[in-house]
Amino acid sequence: MIIAIDGPAASGKGTLARRLAAHFGLPHLDTGLLYRATALALIDAGRRLDDEAAAEAAARGLALTDFDESRLRGREMGEAASLVAVMPRVRAALVEAQRAFAARPDGAVLDGRDIGTVIAPQADVKIFVTASPETRAQRRALELARRGEPVDYAAILDDVRKRDARDAGRAVAPLLAAADAATLDTSALDIEGAFAAALAIVERARKP
Ligand code: CDP
């Protein structure tokens, strides 16, 4: 079974994907980490984030494991990731590895922006996770505070809105719900509530 989870920044898709993967015993790939790691590789190499040739090379050089999540999860890297993610050559460089992950024998759970539309349009279950920008900014603020990062709610809300616009507005693989995706609005749900709702969507999709 392939489960595709897409949605905007801080919608809770990562947590849901992890929980669903654990529940069904499936491998999980957070595809946002690939874009974050590409951005980090550029920064570490002293290259500009809009250097498409260097970004493509960085993307091709990534290993899907061994991500240094402590460096990748910060606020700045999310912003940098969305800048490299607009470049068609970067996206093309990352497609094959993501498709190979989705093609694992027992299936997989992948979360990102274009899983149900581009990476795994054949997925058995597609969930588009959303929440209001204010809710998402609050969640991200909490997450960053837990990591010990300074938290400025207004700046985070601004980030969320800017990133939504950039991710939805880009020419290649924009953030978009697949026509056959179930939308799950988690604005009024806690993690348990969101997980129960996601599980219900999966069970419904699995029924013949
Ligand atoms: O956790 P959050 O949703 O803030 O970020 P993420 O999922 O790690 O993604 C960071 C950025 O990578 C996004 O803003 C997108 O621009 C890009 N991305 C993408 O273009 N396609 C994906 N499948 C996953 C992430």
Q: Note the pLDDT tens digit of each residue in 54-110.
A: 999 999 999 877 788 888 988 889 999 999 999 999 999 999 999 999 999 999 999
Is the CB–ligand 1 distance for residue 80 below 6 Å?
no
Tokens of 38: 């590409």
Which of 35, 129, 156 for mutating ligand 1's site (highest number of atoms within 8 Å of CB)?
A: 35
For residue 70, the model assigns a pLDDT of 85
| HEC readout, 102-142 | HCCCCCEEEEECCHHHHHCCCCCEEEEEECCHHHHHHHHHH
The domains located in the chain, with CATH, are: 2-206 (3.40.50.300)
Q: Note the pLDDT tens digit of each residue in 113-165.
A: 999 999 999 999 999 999 999 999 999 999 889 989 889 999 999 999 999 99
For residue 149, the model assigns a pLDDT of 87
For residue 74, the model assigns a pLDDT of 84
Is the CB–ligand 1 distance for residue 75 below 6 Å?
no
Cα–Cα separations (whole angstroms), residue 39 to 24, 91, 108: 32, 12, 25
Is the CB–ligand 1 distance for residue 12 below 6 Å?
no
Closest-CA residue, ligand 1 atom 16, reads 82
What is the Å distance from ligand 1's center to 65 Cα?
Answer: 17
pTM exceeding 0.75: yes
For residue 73, the model assigns a pLDDT of 87
Q: How far apart are CA 177 and CA 179, in angstroms?
A: 6
More confident residue, 16 or 171: 16
Decide if 140 contacts 9 (C-beta within 8 A): yes
What is the Å distance from ligand 1's center to 115 Cα?
Answer: 11
Whether residue 208 is predicted with pLDDT greater than 90 in this model: the reply is no
| Cα 41 to the center of its chain, rounded Å | 18
Residue 28: in which H helix or E strand, if any? strand 28-30
Which residues partner with 182 through β-bridges? 127
What is the Å distance from ligand 1's center to 205 Cα?
Answer: 25
Decide if 23 contacts 33 (C-beta within 8 A): no
Give the residue from 18, 69, 165 showing the smallest Cα distance to 5. 18
What is the Å distance from ligand 1's center to 78 Cα?
Answer: 7
Q: How far apart are CA 21 and CA 4, in angstroms?
A: 11
What is the Å distance from ligand 1's center to 105 Cα?
Answer: 26
For residue 124, the model assigns a pLDDT of 97
Q: How far apart are CA 78 and CA 35, in angstroms?
A: 9
Phi-psi region of 110 (alpha: psi -120 to 50; beta: other; left: phi over 0): beta
